[in-house]
Structure 1
Amino acid sequence: MGFWRTRGLRGSALEELVNHTNDKYRERGLALVQKVPTPIKPVELDPANGNIRLAFFEQRSTVDYIGVVQGVPICFDAKETNKERFPLQNIHEHQLRFMEDFERQEGVAFLLVNFTQHQEFYFLPFGQLKESWDLALQGGRKSIPYRDFKKAFPVYGKDGYLVHYLEGLAAYLEQK
């Protein structure tokens, strides 16, 4: 599928925030959400410590997280950008298809996007992502501007949750 060296650490700070939040959700009985590991096959190990130095992905990843929130199945990908826009190239077609299939099964798919320059997080529903994706395929923008996320659902840290995305999910479900 593809080779992995240091790229695997991109987004690890965001992942830690989300993992901590998911642990809190589980402890408090609000949700059960887990990180979906991407299977890798080690090719080269460091003989000194046994750490993986080179590996390849055995199969394509689907989304970063999958779980259930009080009976509602969810799946999402956590993404970061240091730009004033979210590049759609950060999403792969197979991920988009998985989220689309997930929603067909009455689940809720979304992105959790961190704009690092602004230190702001947003819950972006799959429908809005898909709309932007389809427009890009027709020759439109290849990214979603930061200003468009202001129309989405902001996500804040609150009550010990570092990235309290369930509030964004709840707001989205109320609007839906």
Structure 2
Amino acid sequence: MINYGKRGQAFENLLNYSNELYKHKGIAIINKRPTPMKIIGKTRGNQHICVFDKKSTVDFDGIYNGKAIAFEAKSTNEKRLPFSIITDEQIKYLDTAENQGAISFLIVEMKVTRQVFLVPNGMLQKYVREAKNGGRKSIPLRDLEVYAHLVKSQNGIPLDYLSVVDNLIYSEIS
């Protein structure tokens, strides 16, 4: 069995730092959700033994410009975003949150190209539907480069994904 546990730790730390800067600048309040854990015992050294208590929803949520925001962060070494690293619960949660008025998306680190993309929920749901109907079980890098949105370091924020969100909201209005 492959352990995906710490694969994107540096990426997640960069997101956490970006979120702290957003908070410090009064731009948004975005929090990392803790993974629900349950203590099932102790070792001989008196350390806790923990397991995942229940399936998690998404990695981050918060408030931006008076709107709820929810997103999942993923990191991959491949030239594609495999759906196998996203749970059905996470995909459903993003869609449900958006249907309730939240800004929902996936943020993906493509280690191969050292790029980060924001994948709007609508795009994610389209590819997932196609996969369930016999299509690809991933989003190829070339599709991310065309249809997703590149996240850059700007405005003093290492991963300024909210600039992308602003552009998406503005393009929906006009």
TM-score, shorter chain, exceeding 0.5: yes
Q: How does 1:111-150 map to 2 (within 5 A)?
A: 111-150=106-145
RMSD: 1.6
1:153–1:171 CA contact under 8 A, matched in 2: no
Any unmatched runs of 5+ in structure 1? 1-5
**1:47: how far off?**
4.5
Per the alignment, residue 62 of structure 2 pairs with: 67
Q: What TM-score do the two structures reach when normalised by structure 2?
A: 0.91
Per the alignment, residue 154 of structure 2 pairs with: 158
Q: What TM-score do the two structures reach when normalised by structure 1?
A: 0.90
Per the alignment, residue 35 of structure 1 pairs with: 32
Aligned amino acid, residue 55 of structure 1: C
Aligned amino acid, residue 25 of structure 2: R
Structure 2 CA distance, aligned partners of 1:44 and 1:120? 41
Aligned amino acid, residue 128 of structure 2: W
Give 3-state SS (helix, strand or coil) of 1:68's partner.
Answer: strand
**1:14: how far off?**
1.0
Aligned: 1:94 with 2:64: no
Structure 2 CA distance, aligned partners of 1:39 and 1:100? 21
Give 3-state SS (helix, strand or coil) of 1:162's partner.
Answer: coil
Give 3-state SS (helix, strand or coil) of 2:30's partner.
Answer: strand
Of 48, 62, 79, the residue aligned with 1:84 is 79
Structure 2 CA distance, aligned partners of 1:165 and 1:33? 12
Q: 1:43 to 1:9 in 2, by over 3 A?
A: farther
**Cα deviation digits, residues 33-90 of structure 1 (max 9, x gap):** 000111111335454473x5x4211111000000111112110001011111000111
Per the alignment, residue 170 of structure 1 pairs with: 166
**1:106: how far off?**
0.8
